[in-house]
A = this chain, B = another copy of it.
Amino acid sequence: MKCKELHYTDSIHYELEQTAKLMRILTAQLFERLEISISQDEYAALDTISINPGICQRDLAKLIIKDRANTGRILNCLEKNNFVTRLVDIKNNRLVKKLKITQKGIDELNFINTKIKSYLDNITEKISQEEVDRVQEILRGFRLDLEKLVEMKI
Protein backbone atom coordinates (compact mmCIF):
# COMPACT_ATOMS: atom_id res chain seq x y z
CA MET A 1 0.00 0.00 0.00
CA LYS A 2 1.67 3.16 -1.23
CA CYS A 3 0.05 6.06 0.51
CA LYS A 4 2.99 8.30 -0.33
CA GLU A 5 2.11 9.08 -3.88
CA LEU A 6 -1.59 9.64 -3.50
CA HIS A 7 -1.17 13.39 -3.45
CA TYR A 8 0.73 15.43 -5.98
CA THR A 9 1.87 17.74 -3.22
CA ASP A 10 3.57 14.79 -1.53
CA SER A 11 5.45 13.82 -4.66
CA ILE A 12 9.11 14.47 -5.26
CA HIS A 13 8.13 16.56 -8.27
CA TYR A 14 6.27 19.04 -6.14
CA GLU A 15 8.84 18.96 -3.34
CA LEU A 16 11.47 19.83 -5.92
CA GLU A 17 9.47 22.77 -7.22
CA GLN A 18 8.74 24.17 -3.78
CA THR A 19 12.33 23.87 -2.62
CA ALA A 20 13.63 25.48 -5.78
CA LYS A 21 11.10 28.29 -5.50
CA LEU A 22 12.22 29.07 -1.96
CA MET A 23 15.84 28.83 -3.01
CA ARG A 24 15.21 31.34 -5.78
CA ILE A 25 13.47 33.79 -3.47
CA LEU A 26 16.24 33.49 -0.91
CA THR A 27 18.93 34.05 -3.52
CA ALA A 28 17.11 37.12 -4.83
CA GLN A 29 16.92 38.52 -1.30
CA LEU A 30 20.60 37.75 -0.80
CA PHE A 31 21.57 39.53 -4.01
CA GLU A 32 19.46 42.50 -2.93
CA ARG A 33 20.89 42.63 0.56
CA LEU A 34 24.50 42.30 -0.55
CA GLU A 35 23.89 44.96 -3.21
CA ILE A 36 25.02 42.72 -6.02
CA SER A 37 24.58 44.66 -9.23
CA ILE A 38 23.37 41.89 -11.54
CA SER A 39 20.45 39.48 -11.28
CA GLN A 40 20.87 35.83 -10.38
CA ASP A 41 19.98 34.90 -13.97
CA GLU A 42 22.72 37.16 -15.27
CA TYR A 43 25.07 35.67 -12.71
CA ALA A 44 24.22 32.14 -13.86
CA ALA A 45 24.74 33.14 -17.49
CA LEU A 46 28.06 34.77 -16.67
CA ASP A 47 29.23 31.68 -14.82
CA THR A 48 28.12 29.43 -17.69
CA ILE A 49 29.99 31.56 -20.21
CA SER A 50 33.12 31.49 -18.07
CA ILE A 51 33.03 27.69 -18.13
CA ASN A 52 32.18 27.54 -21.86
CA PRO A 53 34.16 30.29 -23.55
CA GLY A 54 33.11 30.86 -27.16
CA ILE A 55 29.66 29.37 -26.67
CA CYS A 56 26.95 30.78 -28.95
CA GLN A 57 23.73 32.32 -27.68
CA ARG A 58 21.47 29.42 -28.51
CA ASP A 59 23.68 26.88 -26.79
CA LEU A 60 23.84 29.15 -23.78
CA ALA A 61 20.05 29.37 -23.81
CA LYS A 62 19.86 25.58 -23.68
CA LEU A 63 22.22 25.47 -20.71
CA ILE A 64 20.48 28.11 -18.65
CA ILE A 65 17.03 26.90 -19.82
CA LYS A 66 15.73 30.21 -21.08
CA ASP A 67 14.36 30.97 -24.53
CA ARG A 68 16.55 32.75 -27.06
CA ALA A 69 14.72 36.05 -26.59
CA ASN A 70 15.42 36.33 -22.89
CA THR A 71 18.90 34.94 -23.23
CA GLY A 72 19.58 37.77 -25.66
CA ARG A 73 18.21 40.29 -23.18
CA ILE A 74 20.35 38.90 -20.38
CA LEU A 75 23.37 39.21 -22.66
CA ASN A 76 22.45 42.80 -23.51
CA CYS A 77 22.83 43.65 -19.84
CA LEU A 78 26.05 41.70 -19.41
CA GLU A 79 27.49 43.25 -22.55
CA LYS A 80 26.45 46.75 -21.52
CA ASN A 81 28.35 46.24 -18.28
CA ASN A 82 31.36 44.95 -20.24
CA PHE A 83 31.21 41.61 -18.45
CA VAL A 84 31.02 39.68 -21.72
CA THR A 85 31.82 40.27 -25.38
CA ARG A 86 29.77 39.16 -28.37
CA LEU A 87 31.90 38.21 -31.34
CA VAL A 88 30.24 37.37 -34.65
CA ASP A 89 31.84 34.18 -35.88
CA ILE A 90 31.14 30.97 -37.77
CA LYS A 91 29.97 27.72 -36.21
CA ASN A 92 29.04 24.86 -38.56
CA ASN A 93 29.07 27.34 -41.43
CA ARG A 94 26.50 29.40 -39.56
CA LEU A 95 26.86 32.97 -38.40
CA VAL A 96 26.69 32.96 -34.64
CA LYS A 97 27.55 35.34 -31.83
CA LYS A 98 30.23 33.74 -29.73
CA LEU A 99 30.39 34.79 -26.12
CA LYS A 100 33.45 35.40 -23.99
CA ILE A 101 33.78 36.64 -20.47
CA THR A 102 35.97 39.72 -20.04
CA GLN A 103 38.49 40.35 -17.29
CA LYS A 104 35.96 42.68 -15.71
CA GLY A 105 33.45 39.84 -15.89
CA ILE A 106 35.87 37.42 -14.25
CA ASP A 107 36.50 39.94 -11.48
CA GLU A 108 32.78 40.44 -10.96
CA LEU A 109 32.20 36.69 -10.90
CA ASN A 110 34.89 36.17 -8.27
CA PHE A 111 33.59 39.13 -6.31
CA ILE A 112 30.07 37.70 -6.22
CA ASN A 113 31.31 34.20 -5.43
CA THR A 114 33.27 35.52 -2.47
CA LYS A 115 30.32 37.56 -1.24
CA ILE A 116 27.68 34.83 -1.38
CA LYS A 117 29.71 31.70 -0.61
CA SER A 118 29.34 31.76 3.16
CA TYR A 119 25.64 32.47 2.88
CA LEU A 120 24.99 29.62 0.47
CA ASP A 121 27.14 27.20 2.45
CA ASN A 122 25.19 28.17 5.52
CA ILE A 123 21.95 26.91 3.98
CA THR A 124 23.19 23.35 3.65
CA GLU A 125 25.19 23.32 6.87
CA LYS A 126 22.76 20.99 8.61
CA ILE A 127 23.14 18.43 5.85
CA SER A 128 26.32 16.42 5.67
CA GLN A 129 28.54 17.00 2.67
CA GLU A 130 28.06 13.39 1.62
CA GLU A 131 24.33 13.79 1.57
CA VAL A 132 24.56 17.02 -0.38
CA ASP A 133 26.79 15.28 -2.90
CA ARG A 134 24.46 12.30 -3.10
CA VAL A 135 21.37 14.45 -3.64
CA GLN A 136 23.18 16.51 -6.23
CA GLU A 137 24.25 13.37 -8.05
CA ILE A 138 20.74 11.94 -8.11
CA LEU A 139 19.25 15.26 -9.16
CA ARG A 140 21.76 15.39 -11.99
CA GLY A 141 20.69 11.98 -13.26
CA PHE A 142 17.09 13.01 -12.84
CA ARG A 143 17.68 16.18 -14.81
CA LEU A 144 19.44 14.34 -17.63
CA ASP A 145 16.42 12.04 -17.94
CA LEU A 146 14.11 15.04 -17.93
CA GLU A 147 16.09 16.65 -20.72
CA LYS A 148 15.35 13.66 -22.91
CA LEU A 149 11.63 13.85 -22.20
CA VAL A 150 11.08 17.57 -22.52
CA GLU A 151 10.55 19.09 -25.95
CA MET A 152 12.80 22.10 -25.74
CA LYS A 153 11.78 24.66 -28.33
CA ILE A 154 14.97 26.65 -28.01
A interface residues, Cβ below 8 angstroms from B = 4-9, 11-27, 29, 43-44, 47-48, 50-51, 65, 113, 117, 120-121, 123-124, 126-127, 131-136, 138-143, 145-147, 149-152
Q: Let me know if A27 and B15 touch, CB within 8 A.
A: no
Task: Name the B residues within 8 Å of A133 (CB-CB).
Answer: 4
Chain B nearest CB from A37 CB (Å) reads: 16
Task: Give the nearest-CB partner of A132 in chain B.
Answer: B12
Q: Let me know if A29 and B113 touch, CB within 8 A.
A: no
Task: Name the B residues within 8 Å of A29 (CB-CB).
Answer: 150-151
Chain B nearest CB from A45 CB (Å) reads: 10
Task: Name the B residues within 8 Å of A6 (CB-CB).
Answer: 113
Can you report 25 residue pairs joining A to B where beta carbons are below 8 Å apart?
A4-B133, A5-B117, A5-B121, A7-B47, A7-B51, A8-B43, A8-B44, A9-B44, A9-B47, A13-B27, A15-B136, A16-B16, A16-B23, A16-B139, A17-B23, A17-B24, A19-B142, A19-B146, A22-B65, A22-B143, A26-B146, A29-B150, A123-B145, A126-B145, A134-B134
